[in-house]
Chain A
Amino acid sequence: MRATVIEFLGSNCDHDMVHYAKDVFNLKTEVVWFTERDLKNPDIVLLPGGFSYGDYLRPGAMAARTPAMESVKEFAKKGGLVLGVCNGFQILCESGLLPGALLRNRTISFICDNVYLKAENKDTPFTCKVDKILKIPIAHGDGNYFCDEETLKKIESEGRVAFRYVSPEGEVDEKWNFNGAINSIAGVLSENRRVLGMMPHPERACEKVLNSEDGKLVMESVISFLEKNR
């Protein structure tokens, strides 16, 4: 199985993403620089988190307009799997691969904390192995997901909300929706459910010494999906 991590100027979770794919899951992992167009034939493209272009203009706006992202768009159009985490989610929204936008957190400030996630739809490449409430860290200033009412209705009715912020017990509760996302949305899928953007960082929660292993379930889902759909 092959993963490709795209590196943009200023990405700071690129190494973490490579660690996730390569060290934790032993995938054959390539790193592609943002100026390149060749994605090196991946089964999944990973867009890392972390302040590409310093979040200048808007988070993800400049990264969305790079040659590598042109190739990612084509790859996605053909049904390829794409996972964007944090800034990767912002890039996916900015590039039009996912609907909606990520606004400033409602607290205005940056938030680093553990969140609890409920997989709303188990019938997706990213959630098919998720069998519990996930404890995963967030670390962002702009994670407040927003879209217009019509889009919201559409993604909700089509089962495209991949993850929702919930309480540790699994209840939707504004108290646990730290950034103020609409409908407590933490992760959104594309129409074909092959592209996922999520604010929480599964790659930071894959080892016991780091306090949670729940992030593994996202990649385990992907691997199981790819094995079945070979």
Chain B
Amino acid sequence: MTEIEVNLQLAKNHGLSEEEWETIKKLLGRIPTYEELGIFSAMWSEHCSYKSSRVHLKKLPTKAPWVLQGPGENAGIIDIGEGYAVAFKMESHNHPSFIEPYQGAATGVGGILRDVFTMGARPLANLNGLFFGELKNSRTPYLIKGVVAGVGDYGNCIGVPTIGGQVTFHSCYNGNILVNAFTLGLMKSDKIFRGKAEGVGNPVWYVGSKTGRDGIHGATMASAEFSEETEEKKPTVQVGDPFTEKLLLEACLEIMEKDVIIGIQDMGAAGLTSSSLEMAERAGSGIRIDLSKIPLREKEITPYEILLSESQERMLFVAKKGKEKEILEIFKKWNLDAVQIGEVTDTKRAEFYFEGKKVADIPIDGIGESAPLYKRPYKEPKRFKENQQLNLSEVKDIENVQTTFLDFISSPHLCSRKWVFRQYDQSVRTNTVMSSGGDCGVIRIKGTKKAVAMSLDVNPRYCFLNPREGTKLAVAESALNLAVCGAKPLAITDCLNFGNPEKKDVMWEFVESIEGMKEACQKLDTPVVSGNVSFYNETEGVGIYPTPSIAMVGVVEDIQNIVYPWFKEEGLEIVLLGEDEPSLDGSLYLSHFFGIDKGKIKSVDFELHNNLISLMLQLSKEKVIESAHDISDGGLLIAIAECCLNEESKIGAEIFFKDAPKRIDAFLFGEAPSRVVVSLKKENLKIFSQIANKKKIKYEVIGRTTKNSFKLGFGNKEVFNISINEIAEKWQKGFEGIFKQK
């Protein structure tokens, strides 16, 4: 092996700054070895160190009586009662998915699954937030096909249902798609495992797949902008093997049943390096590892590559001494490698050996404490105030409501997502109560009356126009999506996708977004229990809209009380609840038909919002309503149509308003937070109004369900009368257009 000269230039090639290089030299008191340089570059990458975001993330509320584990572990955990807890987290796999959509998305799912089962939870459900560029972009169909197949194949093979999420299209993602993967798992609340390397002399075990050269410097790649050479980065993308992950999952859950494991962590970004260092750091201990013992796919891999490989489906754990036989038995049963590669020490150093020679020796405190922490400058960009100005006089009101409505509902933004979801196994594990198409995904918890509901939301247009208010709206919508089905919102995980934090305007968006999230989570009493930041979503200097994906988890106490969004039968009263003044500012309508992303988006009134959430929970508990659906993208008319468009039974609706509004477009397709459309039996109207009045929520009966037509009228004048089948056909086929164009 020829010695590689380690110097500033090499450090820079590793993505480290001159200042960071100086810190490393001071910390070690010498020039780092090549291996050490690799370790620092990975650990101090934005992806692993959160160096630009840490100061701000600290502001977020993370505590509540039901929070058993907040941020800082592999996943957050909340108590759901009856001795059960759920672990969940969301993570981005944006950069790899843009370079290689199938493997990038697949390993994103694989990574988040490991984060959850490493805590001792059995993964029960996945959600995905997918954000693609506009359809006329030639790469978009390729990316969609690859990402959807990758997400599907991994989850399907391992046997975890994918039960919801979001698919968004906007030109801001042309050069950077987003793949945000969420997993939720179930565990006994007294059986939580953490990533801690405790107990001097305890053995450190490596289990799972062998180590190869894939994914080397993945974390560093994910911490830089893209340029024309993106294609050349394909080798930095990992390759997934869901079969091995399934074996690893079962083997880990089986060994967790025994009294063996002290601490456990998956090898995700920055592989063995980050898992070993983080485990020792959490325990305040040291760790010594012999890299020669790592199972390898090929002989010629160097210690540097072993340290930085992001080969998938690998775990590191610290076990009690003297349990070798039990451990080997279980991993042999599952056909997996299990090797003792080192031990816990009290040196507070991470020492790596290779063929008898020490190749790296790093103070663990140094990695964390001396890690760069940037208070990056931020400034409100000029465009912020400019974008608040929306001149509606330039926008002609709708002439033909029927045509506009049909165009809108069959657009890629609003059409049925079945093409996507049909490729995901949604029913494996026999728990799925509600899946794609609903306001949220719901799984029942076997052996109890409970169900767990989860939703994933963000409106990037809102966050672009006003990152603070937009993020509040994302949290608020997530909460309402749970409440309409009867689930009490409990906590969130986030995935914060932004551009280059070294730019003042991007950093401003980030800071504003965190402030908004903080306020919303406090007001709704839904703390942040885990999360992930993805910066540098930029290509050739063009960044994405700020996209803070929010996934919220809630509990339905009695599964019999779940409310679905769809109209069940004809003859029901249709009632509009909540905020009554929708606006075109920042609406999907303006964005889709006019290409205008402008306006002053509405703020969330949290008192009203909390009252509405509480009302929805009571209505579900007292079985007053037959259906409930949150009104979001596309506004009122789209929401009502969505209530009609169930896969199996298609019920129509007659909607009549007393007077024609001043602007039809704003009234029918404008947007506002805190709005819900429900249906109920006529005989329940009285009790409904009593409850609504008590909760101080305004409501209006706007029509009734019918057999098979969708009618709209103002005063005595009918605006349109369309058959539900016609709408359904257009809505179902909307997605096909994406591939037909090519």
Q: Which residues of A contact B (CB under 8 A)?
A: 9-10, 12-13, 15-16, 19-20, 23, 33, 50-51, 53-56, 109-114, 137, 139, 141, 201, 203-204, 206-207, 209-210
Contact = CB atoms under 8 A, between A and B. Distances in A.
A51 B433 contact: no
A174 B573 CA distance: 39
B213 to A, nearest CB: 22
A19 to B, nearest CB: 6
A109 B428 contact: no
B153 interface: yes
A53 B422 contact: no
Given A54-B243, A204-B428, 13 more contacts: A10-B247, A12-B159, A13-B159, A51-B156, A53-B243, A54-B157, A54-B241, A110-B424, A112-B425, A204-B430, A207-B430, A209-B559, A210-B427
B430 A10 contact: no
A23 B432 CA distance: 17
Residue of B156, B426, B562, B648 with highest tally of chain A CB at under 10 A: B156
Interface string B416-447: 00000111111111111100000000001010
Contacts of B149: 109-110
A162 B461 CA distance: 52
Contacts of B242: 51, 54
B80 interface: no
B217 interface: no
Interface residue SS majority, chain A: mixed
8 contacts: A12-B246, A51-B242, A56-B243, A112-B156, A112-B426, A139-B427, A206-B430, A210-B430
Interface residues of B, number: 35
Contacts of A141: 156
A123 to B, nearest CB: 29
Contact of A111 (B247, B422, B431, B648): B422
A56 B647 CA distance: 34
B428 A51 contact: no
A195 B343 CA distance: 53
Interface of B: 149, 152-153, 156-159, 241-244, 246-247, 333-335, 421-433, 444, 446, 559, 562, 647-648
Q: Which 3 A-B pairs have the closest CB atoms?
A: A12-B159, A54-B243, A139-B425
B424 to A, nearest CB: 6
Contacts of B432: 210
A204 B247 contact: no
Nearest to B418: A113
Given A13-B159, A203-B430, A19 B153 contact: no
Contacts of A12: 157-159, 246, 428
Contact of B247 (A9, A13, A33, A113): A9
A51 B243 contact: yes
Nearest to B333: A33
A110 B427 contact: no
Contacts of B246: 10, 12, 51, 54
A226 B198 CA distance: 56
Contact of A110 (B153, B241, B444): B153
Contacts of A33: 333
B430 A9 contact: no
A16 B562 CA distance: 23
A33 to B, nearest CB: 8
Given A12-B158, A50-B159, A110 B247 contact: no
B430 A110 contact: no
B427 A137 contact: yes
A110 B428 contact: no
A113 B333 CA distance: 34
A50 B246 CA distance: 11
Given A51-B157, A112-B423, A16 B430 contact: yes
A111 B559 contact: no
A57 to B, nearest CB: 12
A209 B431 CA distance: 9
Contacts of B333: 33
A51 B648 CA distance: 29
A55 B422 contact: no
A199 to B, nearest CB: 13
Contacts of B335: 9
Contacts of B428: 12-13, 16, 50, 139, 204
Contacts of A112: 156, 421-427
Contacts of B247: 9-10
A204 B427 contact: yes
Contact of B444 (A13, A203, A209): A209
A170 to B, nearest CB: 15
A139 B156 contact: yes
A107 B716 CA distance: 48
A145 B120 CA distance: 39
A19 B446 contact: yes
